[in-house]
Amino acid sequence: MLKIAITGPESTGKSTLAAQLAEKYDTVWVPEYARSYVGNLGRPYTLADIEAIAKGQQALEQQLEQKATGLLFADTDMLVLKVWSEHAFGHCPAWVEEKLRAQEYNLYLLMGVDLPWEPDPQREHPHLRQFFYDWYKRELQALQVPFVEIQGQREERLLQACRQVEALRYENKKLN
């Protein structure tokens, strides 16, 4: 199973790209658990909610991995939760950081901020997208995980991502 995490700031096309890739490769994608969790919360989220969201995201990914056909695309990952938690609360639960270090994605696609902002009640920082992009990039570099920056408009992003998926599949076949 090859696992690809799509990560980065808000309103950068993570969900769109995950759905497009899953359709193209006839597999499943893991949606962002936080959307439904926060959407049904009925109150402002707290630090305790971040950990609950992380556990829910992990459980959803494990469930959907059983339905994947050799490739799994994750709309979000523990890095998103770490950055979100640290920015909102100045702290990240140790459990989330532990799960982040234990993630086993073959590739991360870091989504650029060159798409127009799309307002959404759950999105909070339209003016900080470059700030967050830089933060994600530093975190990925510190984790020393394979990642590729994805830029451009919708079709260009899909093309770039497909090239990366094909390269990953080719490398995987060579190793096996």
pLDDT reported for residue 121:
64
What's CA 94's distance to the chain center, in Å? 19
* The two three-digit tokens of residue 169, written as one number: 């599949």
Per-residue pLDDT reduced to its tens digit, 163-175: 999 999 999 888 8
Kindly give the parts of the chain with pLDDT less than 70. 119, 121-123
Domain count, the chain: 1
Run of H or E residues at 107: strand 107-111
What's CA 55's distance to the chain center, in Å? 15
Per-residue pLDDT reduced to its tens digit, 1-35: 999 999 999 889 999 999 999 999 999 999 999 98
Which residues are within 8 A (CB) of 98 and not within 5 positions of it... i.e. 6 or more apart?
Answer: none
d(CA 31, CA 29) in angstroms, rounded, equals: 6
Find the angle CA(164)-CA(166)-CA(171) to the nearest 5 degrees. Answer: 95
* The two three-digit tokens of residue 114, written as one number: 């060159």
Three-state secondary structure call for residue 41:
coil
CATH code for the domain in which residue 142 is found: 3.40.50.300
What is the residue range of 51's domain?
A: 2-175
Note the pTM of the prediction, 2 decimals.
Answer: 0.94
Which residues are within 8 A (CB) of 51 and not within 5 positions of it... i.e. 6 or more apart?
Answer: 93, 95, 96
